[in-house]
Amino acid sequence: MKLNTLAKTVVLGLAVLLATSAFASDKGSLQVREAIEVNGQRLAPGDYQVRWDGTGSNVEVSIMQGKKEVAKTTAKVVALSKAYDYDAAVVDHASGKATVSEVRFAGKKYALALGAAEKAEMNAGSTK
């Protein structure tokens, strides 16, 4: 009986560990094919590393090219209904500039909504 309980505890522990590991990753890659902006910083076409740090859904994001940080912003980790097949950036062209609003990662069911944490704080502080 004790062996059965121990086995269930180990399986449950592994399940919790695997479930939390989906959000434990703190880096991903991004290939930029056109000039874009992240938090007012221009990124030329090329390969970049996206790194984030923070607990919970609000994180600090750094866009790296090699060892050099080329842009920094805040983001909100958002759950997606499905994992994407490839890394991608959602680019907003409405302002006349190509601005990144979200970064999605291959095989992950979450994305980074860039600047979303700042927008949420601004909306919470408004007196409408």
For residue 94, list its beta bridge partners. none
Nearest alpha-carbon partner for 29 in 73, 87, 69? 87
Which whole number is the average pLDDT over 26-41?
92
**Stretch 30-53: mean pLDDT, rounded?**
94
What pLDDT, on the 0 to 100 scale, is given for residue 97? Answer: 87
Best CA proximity match to 63, nearest among 74, 51, 53, 75:
51
pLDDT band at 117 (very low <50, low <70, confident <90, very high): low
DSSP string across 36-48: EEETTEEE-SEEE
Q: Using one digit for the tens of pLDDT, what is the confidence trace for 43-92? A: 999 999 999 998 788 999 999 999 999 999 999 999 999 999 999 999 99
Q: What mean pLDDT is predicted for residues 7-32?
A: 58
The strand pairing partners of 60, in sequence order, are 53, 74
- How much is the pLDDT for 124? 43
Residue at 66: amino acid letter = G
Question: Tokens at residue 36, please?
Answer: 């874009």
The pLDDT assigned to 52 comes to 94
* pLDDT confidence of residue 85: 93
Report phi then psi at 119, rounded to 5.
Answer: -65, -40
Tokens representing 37 are 């902006």
Using DSSP's 3-state secondary structure scheme, residue 30 falls into strand
